[in-house]
Amino acid sequence: MFFGSDNTSPVHPKIMQALAKANEGYVSSYGADPIMEQVRDQVRNLFQAPDAAVYLVATGSAANALALATYCPPWGAVYCHKSSHIEVDECGAPEFYAGGAKLITIDGDHGKMRPEDLRKALEPLAHGDVHTVQPGIVSITNVTEMGTVYAPDEIAALCAIARDFGIPCHMDGARFANALQATGATPAKMTWKSGIDILSFGGTKNGLMAVEAVVIFDPAKAWEFELRRKRGGHLFSKHRYLSAQMNAYLQDELWLALAQHSNAMGSKLSKKISALADSTILHPTDANVVFANLPRAVHRKAQDAGAVYSLVPFYASLDGPGGELLPARLVCSWSTTDEDIDQLIDTFKI
């Protein structure tokens, strides 16, 4: 009963096979491996973006921070949701990589920014006044931190506002496959066709060992990104092992199948929880992440039974302050089974 995070799950067997297959002979290092050429083509085809620059790094924080720094100057503001990973969970990596940029957060139900709130946040800095930081970039997380998903038209609405203010848009797609599966959108529609300039295209949470792609739709920024990646210590010497993972991930739509599964598990879990007495779902379960309010006694029983998941906030305690109901975050992954869910739901029943 492991619902702590999709990053506690193992690596998919096909990825392990791809690593084994890549482990033969000598191969040029630092991204000059032949598999990376394939990956570049795969990603470009997938996104209908023949000129896109494609790079691999090993962590989501690296992908996000490098992407933001490439597009946002040190005196720029990064506009993002209050709950976003770049604001809350990266120990200031975006500020570090962007040379001291400022994150300006926007609240909004269920982890989503509303266009009007984004506009309102942008206005105070849009006057070319040297005393303030300048509008820098908008960063949109999809799947959001609350497990909800922006549809392409919602992305487009946010990007249109960014364009009004002359700034680019980043997507933190740590769970990009899940967002696609949830909406049925194409990768192109979810990104550049809606106005996204640069994408953190996650893999680790969805069955890889440690690979995220960064897709830059305007290749003019590619060289700067490469320098920033190297300078950040994120260019792998034995790069073929990153390439091999992403290569296998994109083959035969494995990535989409895995996301489809984890979304289905999320949906099932959500429905079963909402059917429980005294329990409520806190945000629409659009993908694989479920937020639910459960009675303390239920939490205690589940914990005693060995269920692993986080209270919200992560530092909350069953004996700590709060009401009778305590919110929890439960994450399904590519490896979550129907049995896992049934077993968890059983422990939730009192």
Task: Please provide residue 138's backbone torsions phi and psi, each rounded to the nearest 5 degrees.
Answer: -105, 135
Q: How far is the CB of 166 from its own copies (least distance, A)?
A: 13
CB of 275 to its own copies, least distance (A): 25
Nearer to its own copies, 47 or 249 (CB): 249
Whole-number minimum distance, CB 57 to its own copies, in Å?
8
Which of these, 168, 160, 250, lies nearest to 207 by C-alpha position? 250
Q: How far is the CB of 84 from its own copies (least distance, A)?
A: 13
Nearer to its own copies, 24 or 277 (CB): 24
Q: Nearest Cα to 268, choosing from 339, 317, 196, 162?
A: 339
Pair of tokens at residue 129: 């006044």
* Distance between first and last Cα of the chain: 17
Closer by beta carbon to its own copies, 100 or else 350: 100
Question: Whose Cβ is closer to its own copies: residue 63's or residue 161's?
Answer: 63
* Residue closer to its own copies, measured from CB, 90 or 197: 90
Distance, CA of 313 to CA of 288 (rounded, Å): 19
- What's the closest the beta carbon of residue 131 comes to its own copies, in angstroms? 5
Place of tokens 């939490």: 299
Q: How far is the CB of 156 from its own copies (least distance, A)?
A: 26
Nearer to its own copies, 237 or 275 (CB): 237
| Closest CB 176 distance from its own copies, rounded Å | 16
Least spacing, CB of residue 19 vs its own copies, in Å: 7
Q: Count CA atoms within 13 Å of residue 133 on its CB side.
A: 20
- CB nearer to its own copies: give 126 or 276: 126
Residues 262, 269 contacting (CB under 8 angstroms): no
Residue type at position 295 = P
Nearest CB to its own copies, comparing residues 163 and 238:
238
